[in-house]
Each structure stands twice: as C-alpha cells, then as structure tokens.
Structure 1
Amino acid sequence: MTKHIKKTTQLRNMINSRELEFIMEAHNGMSSRIVEEAGFKGIWASGLSISAALGVRDNNEASWTQVLDVVEFMNDAVNIPILLDGDTGYGNFNNMRRLVKKLNQRQVAGVCIEDKLFPKTNSFIRGESQPLADIEEFAGKIKAAKDTQEDEDFVVVARLEAFIAGWGLSEALSRAEAYHKAGADAILCHSKKSTPQDIEQFMKVWGNRCPVIIVPTKYYSVPTDYFRELGVSLVIWANHNIRTSVQAMKETTSVIFREQSLINVEQKIVSVSEIFRLQNEDELEEAEKKYLPGNNKSIGAVILAASQGNLGELTKDTPKTLLKVHGKSLLDSQIDAFNQVGIKDVTVVRGFGKQKITGNYRTADNDQHASTKELFSLNIARDMIKGDMVFSFGDIMFKNYILNDLLNDPNDITLIVDADCERTGDRKDFVRTDEPYAKKHYTGAARLLEMSEKLSAQSLTGEFIGLWKTSPAGSEIIRKALEELSKSSDFSSMLLAHLFNHITKSHPVSVRFIKGSWLHVDSIVDLQKAGSMA
C-alpha cells in the first residue's frame, strides 16, 4: 500500500475487495513491522496476543487504555492498517464511543467487537458456557461506534460468537442481520470446530449481504481456496506470531540456562543489528547527521588480504581470501560480519590476484606482496587508519560475538588472543601477557608483554588470531609506529609482532582472551574445518 492512502481506506478496500484478502497477527511494534515486511497488507492486533505479551489473561485484565497504548506503538511502526481486536468494546455503548474516538485520534483503521459480556473470556476457553450479549444492546454499541467515528472509512466489525457458544446457525444469522442493520461494515463469523462446517452453513444462507471475515485457527487444514469459493472476504491469521515467539524464547532460554553460555545460541538467533534495523535505526542515524553534526561515531576497518596462500590448486590463480566456505568467500564473510555491527567503511589491502578482489569496499594495493610481509601491507593503508578502527587478516573466520566484544572494549589498542592454542604447526603469533588467561581477563584486563613465533610453550599465554581494534588515540599510535618502523632497512620483512612489540615500549597494548570460536585458514584441513564452523 502506498503511504498517501489513509489506513482506514486501505482496510475498507481490503474488506470490500473481490479477492480474498489476509491480515496477520501482531502484538507490538516490532512484530507489526515484521508483518509489514513479510508483505501483508494489514495487521490483526490480537487481544489474546497483546494480553499474553503483557503477561496477563485474555479476560480484560489489561485495561482498554493499556491495549490502546500498545496499538499506538504498533500503528506508528507501520504504513499498513491495523484492525484492533476490541473484545466486547470494554463496556457499554458509552465505553464503545470513547474507544472509537481514541482509535480515530490515533488513526487506527478499525475495530472488531464480539457479542459477549464484559469482562470477556477467550472463545476457546469454556466457550459454550459463556453468555452472549443481548442482541439489541450489542447492536446499540455498533450504532454508537458508527455515530462516533470521525473518519468515514473507519471500519467496525461485528464478531459472532453464536457458534462458539453452541447456539447454532439460526442464532448466528439473526445476530448477523441485526448487526448489519446497525451499521457493521463486516461480520466476523467465529467457530472453534476443526472443520469449516459452521462457516459453510453461514455463508450459504448469508448471501454476501456484507463482507464476512473468518479466523481459521481451529480449522487450519482447510485449503484456502475453499474460503475463496465460499465468498469469504478476509482471513485473519490470529495468533501465530505470539505462539512462534513463545516457542523460540523457551528454546533459547533453556539452552542459556542449561549451558550458562551464549555460544550455542548466538548463531541461531537474529543479530543485534537486525533488531536495530527493525527499529529503523538508520533513520535516526541520518537524522543525527542532519541535526547533530559532529555527533556521529563511525568505525572503519582494514582487512589485510594481499597473500596468495599455499593451498595448491585452490590458490594457484585465486587469492586465499576468496576461498569459499558454503558458497561465500572468507573476505565476504568478514565484510558481512563488519556490516552487521555497523562497520561500512572497509579498506581491503589487495596483492596477489588483486583484479579478482572487487566489491563494495575501498581497496589499497600491495604490488610487492610476493617479497613483503603483513606490516608492509598495513602501512599501505596507513592513511585510512583514523578514528575507531578494526583490523583483521583476510584468511580468518571468527564467531560474531568476538567482534561484538572487541568493539565494546574501552582500551586504545586491543588484540584478540586465543588462550587455547598449541605450540605446534606453522608460524604463529604467540603472545606473552602480564598474567595468564583467567575469567576476569575476558574483559581485556591482561596486557601484552611480547609477541613472537619463537615463544616457548612454558612462557606463552595464547595466540594472536589476527583481529584487533584501536580507539582514535590508538589509531594515532599505530600510524606513528608505522611511520617510525617504515624507516628501517628490513621493514619489508616485518610482521605485526614487530609493530606491537614496538608499541609496548611506550604504550600498553591490551589483550582480550577467547577460547576457540575462530579459525586461521592456512591449509586444506583448515578449509574443511571452516565448513563445519560456518
């Protein structure tokens, strides 16, 4: 729906459409946005779901003003119309008038009320024992609602509970006719049977005197095309988002409680950046640029990806950083991880096969990659090292939580170090810190004393994984150190260890420990492990 069409008009067009239309349940602003992004043209603000989200029963335990507050947030979050499940209207005709007035003020598109007594009980709980409202009294509520609405397209739906209460077709038809004459824009015919029998009987006799809405929660196995054949106008998927979220929350919470860790759930749930996206964080960022100039904190990144690698035929013509794991290159996986935490200003230092390394990022080229080491590549990107920065090797993989923790570290220069390393294999950036790994050091309390591939097994406390970050002050320290070291005759053969060892002479370098959850892809075996890790 286009934004310039009123939400009330959108909903009215849907219930009067010649095509079968659908609306989906939501219970807060975020679930409303998810419904809209899925493609639905309207939202059902379910009384059951809203009360459940508030932690109370669907028995009018949440006041109508509390429900209205929730619906206002929902309506503000989307451009599609909302039909509120207004229970019984929260009282008599006067309460109904007050409700409609407030819904109109908040530009909510419509309300559905059911012909039961206040306070109501959910239709699927002892439905046959629930008394129905007097027909004339309920018709008076509908007339009061229509007389009160200020927007001529505002929709009032009358919900029939005759089948739920076991009163049968005759009573349902009598009530539907009375409510239609009172001004109801549509009739919601409700049933708790597992077959469409009640709906079939009603539709055949009703004869399309006004639009009919159904809620197939109990008769969900009936093909949707059958509702089209019956002439139903609108289908409400009434409570499936709240039920889905409850199941997902129970599973995630149980795992976290049992394992006292987030490791096995983090990759199964949406990223924090996805929550920010659904909250429309980008709009606020743009507004801050407009209204608060100079108040923006951006983070840059440099990825060192100049090496060819030594994986036989796999890297004969392809840079190691472009090796794919589950269809995505190591480089693209890193950039995706950076993008998810808001790092968009990425510089990739290319070298071997540089013409193949292209994408939505800045590049800097080390054309001497065959005869130089990583510090030489970093120096090529020296002018890009400004403000808050993250740096990484282009041939590593790591779990997202490591990057999130690194960005939250307050120190000027912080290295990620794996405390679970072994003194075996090819050259490694071993480190020695002022104290060995301990839980208290997970926050980055340890300090680097030395980095070297030659540290003994007795003296080393971990392995630098090739991921680190700097604050604005730390970036200046890095730039200054690079400038000083670049004057050395052996600069082309220097490693990052030379840089960090040089810096520790005058400034502390912090270490943030991890235990596993990363991989340096330097062999065929590593590439196979990467597949399992991804």
Structure 2
Amino acid sequence: MNLKAQELRRLFAQPGIIQVAGAHNGLGARLVEGAGFEAIWASGLEISASYGVPDANILTMTEYLAATSSINEVTSLPVIADCDTGYGNSSNVIRLVKKYEAAGIAAICLEDKCFPKLNSFIAGNQELAPVAEFVGKILAAKNAQRSADFMVIARTEALIAGFGLDEAWRRAEAYANAGADALLIHSKANNPGEIEAFMAGWNQSRPVIVVPTSYPQVTIEELTAWGIKMVIYANAGIRAAVQAMTQVLQSLRQAGSLKAVEPALAPLSRIFELQQMTRFREDEKKYLRRSHDDFAVIIPAAGQTKSDDTLSQLLAERPVAMLDLNGKPLLQRNVECLRQQGLNNIVVVTGYKGDLINLEGITTVCNVEYQQSHILHSIMTAQHHFANQNLIIYSDILFEASIIQRLLAHPEDLVLVVDDSFANFTPANKNMDLVVAQAKPWAGKRRLLEHNHNQAVRIGQQTIRQEEADYEFIGIAKISESGSRALKSVYDDCAGRYRNRPFHEAPTFLQASFTDLLQEMIERGFPVTLMEVNSGWMEIQSFDDYRRACRLFSNGRPADHRNSGQHDNPLNPPVSQSSVIPWAEPRQCG
C-alpha cells in the first residue's frame, strides 16, 4: 500500500489548487515541507544541476531514482518524479514504474519528447515523439503499476515546440484517453496567455498541471479561476540557493573573513534541525547500547572556589570548571576524556555563574541553594539523574583516562580513588579529604600490586591529622547500582535526622561535604573500597596550579603516563615549597 500515493489522490479529489515545489535532495525536501507545500516535485533540472551536468538525459534512471528516493525518505509529503521521456521506450517505462512505485514514489511524470530530450528552455531541437509512441508509453506505465493509487502524469511539450494550441489539445486528449491521471501543459511564453487559452478550450475532466517558470507573474487566484488543479514551482529552490551561495562566496573571498557574511548564513543549529539531529540523539539513546550506557557521571560545579592568590580574580568571572586551559575549558577537557571512555550521560550541577556552563551534549541541573549549601547537596540535587551506576567527579580536577578505565573495571559497590603521595609535596595549610585505611600503602614509588580490597576506616578534612592519614581522596568515586541505593537511603535518613544539626564535620546537614556522608556510611557498616593511585591527576586551587595545567596543554593534550611514578607524570609534578600558595578554605567546587 502506497500511503503517499493515496494522499496525492486525496489532494486531487478535494477542492482547491495544489501547490508543489521542486527539490533535488533530502535537505531541499525538508525545506519544501517546512514551507507548507503539499507535495514535492523531484525536479529533473535540479537533480541534473546538482550533478553539474546538462538537463539532457545525461544521468541514468538509477541516478535519478537514487536522488528521488533520498527526497522521499525524509518527507511525509507525496513526491512526484520528473522522469523526462521515460529513459527509453515502453520497455524502459515498464521498469521505471516498477522501480519508482517500489520506492514509495506517489507519481511519475512523462513528457512527449524524443529521447534524448533537451531542457524546454534551451534553444535547439525540441522534437516531439509521435502521439502513438507516447500513448504506448502511457499504456505501458498504467499496466505496469501495482497500486491503483499510483499516478501517471502525461506532459505535453506541444507549446514548447511551437506547434500551437490545436496540437496541444490533440495530444492532451489522446493522453487522457490512454489513461493518464493528469495532464501537464508546459509553456515557455513570458506571460500566461497560452495557458489561459488552453484551459478555455479544454473540455475534459482530467486535471491540468502547470509550471509557471517563464511567466512568474501569474497568481494562484488566476490559475484557480482558469481551472488549473496543480501548480509546480519546479526550480525556485535551486535558483535561490545558487544566487545566495554565489553572493556569499564572492563576499567571503573578497573580505577574507566569515564575519563579513555571517548575517547571511543560517546558524548551525538550523542545519542540525534540518538533519533531525535531536531525533537522532534520542534514537541513539534508545537503541544504541554501549558498554558504559548504564553509567551517569555527576559533576558538582555549583560552588565558588576560594583562592588566596591571583586565581581569585579569574574565579570572580567564572566557575573553576570553565577556566580556559589553552583554548578549552577545564570541564570540556574532562568531558572529552569521559566520552572517549564511552561515558556520554554527563550531568553537571551548576550554581555560581551557572549560565557560563553551556557545553553541548551535557545535562545541567541547578543547585539554587549553592550559596548556603556544600558539595553533598549539589551531588544529591542531581539524584533524579542517577543511573544504574554512577561516577562522582569533582569539577576542579584534571585526570588521565587510565584512572577512569581502572575505576570502571573495579567490581566493588562504592570505590574512592585515593592517592598516597600527598604528604610528599602538598602544602601544609591545604584542607584535604584525608583517609585512614585498613591496610597501609606500600612503601616506595614503584609498585607491582596494590591493595585490591583495601577499605576506608575514616574519612574527613578536619578530624584526621595529616600524619595519621594514609591517603587523600582525589574527588573521583564510583558507585554501583546497590551502592547508589544505599547512598540515597542513608542520605534521606540523615536529611531528616540532621536537618538543622551538625553532621560529622559540617555545622549543618545542608553544609555537609560528600566525605561526611561517606563517613556515615562507613559507620553504618557499608564497605567503602579504595583504589590507589599516585599519579595521573591534579587539582586547580591556586594560580600556580592553573599555570601548570595550561602548560600541560601548550602542545596538545598531555600523554597518558599510566605506569610512571609521580615525578615522571605531567599531572603530578613535585611542588617546590617556594611556589606553594597556602589554602585557607576547603574545596568549594560543588
């Protein structure tokens, strides 16, 4: 069943004139449909012009069919195919009908010229085929169609060839009697007088179609009054495109800058709209299964990071996540790293200067209480976006892909990435998330094995002295499906019990850190597993950190030093005491 052919039949049966516009590809088809036309003319002139060849039967039927199919596949409108003379004799027409009907085309239009034809508006031989020969093509086409709804339109070029109205009426009547579903009367006169005269003498019921290319002054009202059923604006689209492209390209060449032509350009968002990119992404989410599609990455970036040095001036203008690192924001570099690992569901919690966090392809959630709350509240603001498994990643750190790869492979339910090298080069006044573990770190820089099932005993910023700590929590955690359920359950319970009361190291529950909730889970017996690293990451909390991060990307992205020690790694160089800037505030990236 050809639903588009049925729709075209319905249009012919209802009152009023049908307006049709030409196209030569899917993009043009979407523009025609968007403009409100009722059907699309797969124009032979437009298709041949898109190939850069004359409209003179240079292209094959296969090439025309491919172009017509690309039009038909992207539109809900009926498509009428301009099939010239049928690409040969009656045998060719039979094959043509089978192929076009099978492709879902609503109608074909055949013209009564000799093969090979020449475009109607080109001076030269416009020889017409004998009436009997063309009637045979119409009969062959009608007998070949499988659906009664499929339409065959007969186009006479009698007026184009200069044979006058009598010959036009004679041919039109013969084609109608042969079973043509509609007649297209073509004229190259510079006024519609021939068309008006033809309709005055036409006494058959077959609908008439016109193409007013050479007489653009004619109006819909006039055509309707004369009894015309369909008007085809056959090549307005490609002519408009050529005119606009020529002007823009010439201006661009002369100016040497896109700025000069920017007002004449459609925004990229319009191109993406015509490509139906939104639907594509939705289908991708629905049907395209990748290894880490069950993960969400939650990046709390609502807080205003505090710094006692020059960095504070930069952070007065933007959140730390949007600091520029040699041409790309910190957040964008991390998002690209995550996507390379197949992590595409990325949720960023915004607050301070949140309007500046506008990367494509991420989801943003606003923590409206960011000024009164702390990082735990930001993380849980996004809890409705949690997936089966979740990564929590602080917004003020840079990390290598190797850390994420190892973390994704870790089997435990709640895993924190921790570093035991903090004591070697960390400023004494920096407030760190310190961890006391069941098993102490291995001594020395080089290691063969790590503690695969080492667990946290205590975690916090204020209640653990640096000399008793075993690790620093770097701000990256993995939480499984069961771990996420447990975390939500503990959070909800504590939110009710500690609403306006101190909660571990926080003065109130609203001001709690993520580590406060982690300590609560440890005390309730939930295992918090540690994944040890001593390289491959850095945080940006001072201008010295920022300068060093920019230097890492001065020649592109840093290498992934997966097996090197801390002093070999560009993301973990030793910090000289002369360059240390003391931190007086806890981490505020959330």
When residues 114 and 262 of structure 1 are mapped into structure 2, their CA distance, relative to the original with a 3 A threshold, is same
User: Is it true that 1:252 corresponds to 2:295 in the alignment?
Assistant: no
Larger radius of gyration: 2
> Which digits, 9 at most, give the CA deviation of each residue in 1:463-498, with x for residues without a partner?
xxxxxxxxxxxxxxxx95899xxx9xxxxxxxx995
Q: 1:140 to 1:506 in 2, by over 3 A?
A: closer
Q: Counterparts of 2:400 and 2:175 in 1: how far apart (Å)?
A: 68
**Equivalent residue for 1:501, pick from 512, 536, 544:** 544
Amino acid at match of 2:82: D
Map Cα deviations across residues 318-363 of structure 1 (whole Å, 9 max, x no partner).
Answer: xx99xxxxxxxxxxxxxxxxxxxx99966542699xxxxxxx9632
Equivalent residue, structure 2, for 1:122: 119
Superposed CA deviations along residues 166-216 of structure 1, whole A, max 9, x for unmatched, are 111100000000000111000001111122111111111113420000111
Q: Are residues 167 and 304 of structure 1, via their aligned partners in 2, closer, same or farther at CA, if it must alter by over 3 Å?
A: farther
Contact 2:19 2:232 in 1 (8 A): yes
Distance 1:299 1:126, change over 3 A: farther
Aligned-pair identity (%): 37
The Cα shift of 1:95 comes to 1.0
TM-score (norm 1): 0.60
Which of 72, 77, 83 is 2:74 aligned to? Answer: 77
**2:108 alignment partner in structure 1:** 111
- 1:287-306 map, 5 Å: 287-289=283-285, 290-294=287-291
CA RMSD of aligned residues (A): 4.3
- For 2:552 and 2:100, the matched residues in 1 are separated by 58
2:198 to 199, 202, 206: 202
What is the CA-CA distance between 1:19 and the residue it aligns to?
A: 1.1
Where does 1:291-330 land on structure 2 (aligned, <5 Å)? 291-294=288-291
Taking the aligned partners of 2:207 and 2:129, their CA distance within structure 1 comes to: 22
SS at match of 2:258: coil
Over 3 Å counting, the alpha-carbon distance change for 1:367 and 1:9 in structure 2 is closer
Deviation at 1:507, TM superposition (A): 8.0
Select between 170-179 and 214-223 the one with higher mean Cα deviation.
Answer: 214-223
- 1:172 aligns to 2:172 (yes or no): no
**Residue 93 (structure 1) shift:** 0.9
2:22–2:40: 8 Å Cα contact kept in structure 1? yes
> CA separation of 1:503/1:81 partners in 2, compared to 1, >3 Å: closer, same or farther?
same
Measured after TM superposition, the shift of residue 272 of structure 1 is 3.4
Aligned length: 373
The 3-state SS of whatever aligns with 1:24 is: strand
1:133-184 CA distance string (max 9 Å, x none):
1111111101110011111111111111111111111000000000001110
In structure 1, how many angstroms separate the alpha carbons of the residues matched to 2:378 and 2:543?
17
What residue number does 2:224 align with?
A: 228
Asked if 1:278 corresponds to 2:274, the answer is: yes
Residue 34 of structure 1 is matched in structure 2 by 31
Residue in structure 1 matched with residue 87 of structure 2 by the alignment: 90
Paired residue for 1:373? none
Structure 1 segments unaligned to the other structure (5+ residues)? 307-319, 322-341, 353-359, 370-375, 392-409, 413-478, 488-495, 514-534
**In 2, Cα distance between the equivalents of 1:298 and 1:172?**
69
- The residue aligned with 1:53 is 50
- In the other structure, the counterpart of 1:192 is 188
Q: 2: CA distance between counterparts of 1:82 and 1:73? A: 11
User: What SS does the aligned partner of 2:351 have?
Assistant: strand
Moved more, 118-127 or 251-260: 251-260
Residue 234 of structure 1 aligns to which amino acid in structure 2?
M
Aligned to 1:138: 134
How many angstroms does 1:366 deviate by? 5.4
Pick one of 252, 269, 272 that aligns with 2:265: 269
Instruction: Give yes or no for contact 2:392–2:475 (8 Å, CA) kept in 1.
Output: no
Task: For 1:251 and 1:42, locate their aligned partners in 2 and report how far apart those are by CA, in whole Å.
Answer: 30
Shift of 1:295: 6.3
Show CA shifts across 1:63-107 (max 9, x none).
111111111111111121110111111111111111111111111
Deviation of 1:504 (Å): 4.5
Kindly provide the amino acid, as one letter, of the partner of residue 193 in structure 2: Q
Retained in 2: the 8 A contact 1:379–1:482? no
Q: CA offset at residue 217 of structure 1?
A: 1.2
Per-residue displacement from partner, 1:295-318 (whole Å, max 9, x unpaired)? 669999999899xxxxxxxxxxxx
Q: Name the SS for the 1:162 alignment partner.
A: coil
CA distance in 2, matches of 1:212, 1:388: 67
- Structure 2: distance between partners of 1:243 and 1:301: 50
Q: Identify if the C-alpha distance between structure 1 residues 345 and 158 changes in structure 2 by more than 3 Å, giving closer, same or farther.
A: farther
Residue 365 of structure 1: SS of its match in structure 2? Answer: coil
Residue of structure 1 equivalent to 2:214: 218
State the one-letter code of the partner of 1:88: T
Q: Residue 74 of structure 1 aligns to which amino acid in structure 2?
A: I
**Counterpart in 1 of 2:234?**
238
1:163 correspondence with 2:159: yes
Asked whether the 8 Å contact 2:41–2:232 carries over to 1, the reply is: yes
Q: Which moved more, 1:73-82 or 1:271-280?
A: 271-280
Cα distance in 2 between the residues matched to 1:351 and 1:35: 42
Shift of 1:27: 0.4
Q: C-alpha distance in 1, partners of 2:91/2:268?
A: 45
Structure 1 residue 284, shift from structure 2 partner = 3.1
Aligned residue number for residue 349 of structure 1: 351
Change (3 A) 1:139 1:257: same
Task: State the Cα distance separating 1:222 from its structure 2 match.
Answer: 1.7
Cα shift readout 1:12-67 (whole Å, capped 9, x = no counterpart): 22233321111111100111122122222210000000000011100011111111
SS in structure 1 at match of 2:251: helix
- Where do 1:393-408 residues align within 5 Å? none
Gapped regions of structure 2 (runs ≥ 5): 305-316, 319-343, 355-362, 402-472, 478-504, 506-538, 557-590
Asked if structure 2 preserves the Cα contact closer than 8 Å seen for 1:349 and 1:377, the reply is: no
Change over 3 Å in CA distance of 1:239–1:77 after alignment to 2: same
Which one-letter code corresponds to 1:281 in the other structure?
M
Match of 2:9 in 1: 12
The two structures have a TM-score, normalised by structure 2, of: 0.55
User: Which residue identity is paired with 1:159?
Assistant: R
